[in-house]
Amino acid sequence: MPSAPSIRTPSASERATPHRPQRAAITTALTLITLLPLLTLTACSYALQGRAVRGDYSAIEVVDSSDPRLTDAKSALSGVTLNLQSDPNKLNRKNLGRAVSGRTGEFRIPIDEFGAGVLDYDIGAYARKKGYEPAEGFFQLPGGGKRLLITMAPGEDKETNEQPTSLQEEFNLKTFR
């Protein structure tokens, strides 16, 4: 007579250790949980917002979003061209975006850079409009709750420190003047 197969019961150490497929699933889940903040950091869209206004001087500054100059309809300046560059004083500078202020002077430039709005980026901002003195500002890319305020005084459009990042940009800068 054939003997019946014996049923083996796992030892206590075998019961405490998960099987390899379970261990792989746990490792994958922990990796995803760890990387999730980094993935959302790169997936988040950031846009630099602000307003162009008429004033007694030409400058670009970072202000709090509650600054009353951002809502003064009488000083709004439309048609201001804004160019943003990262690392403006380095040879490897990069054009981050351009915008033209709308009817109410407001503008919005999406910044498609890793960690924009969270990590520190050195920025050069250059604003121009025919019949106004150009404005420029150098600062760190502002985080949430901050806006750019471009103030422009009537006057002659003159040379700025804006540097082209390509031959096409150099041509565009020369034809603007």
Mean pLDDT per block of 10 residues along the chain (177 residues) reads 66 59 72 60 71 96 94 94 85 86 93 66 89 92 88 83 54 49
Report the SS3 class of residue 169. helix
- Residue 128 within any structural domain of the chain: yes
Alpha-carbon distances, residue 65 vs 23, 51, 68, 70 (angstroms): 49, 10, 9, 8
Looking at the structure, tell me whether residues 33 and 111 fall in a common domain.
no
Residue 4 lies in a domain: no
- What is the number of structural domains in the chain? 2
Q: Are residues 76 and 37 in the same domain?
A: no
93: containing domain: 45-176
On whether residue 142 sits in a domain, the answer given is yes
Does residue 66 sit in the same domain as residue 34? no
For residue 25, what pLDDT is reported? 72
Nearest Cα to Cα of residue 50 among 153, 149, 138: 149
Within a domain: 135: yes
Taking the C-alpha atoms of residue 124 and residue 141, their distance in angstroms, rounded to an integer, is 9
The reported pLDDT for the residue numbered 167 is 46
Same domain as 157, residue 84: yes
CB atoms within 10 A of CB 46: 16
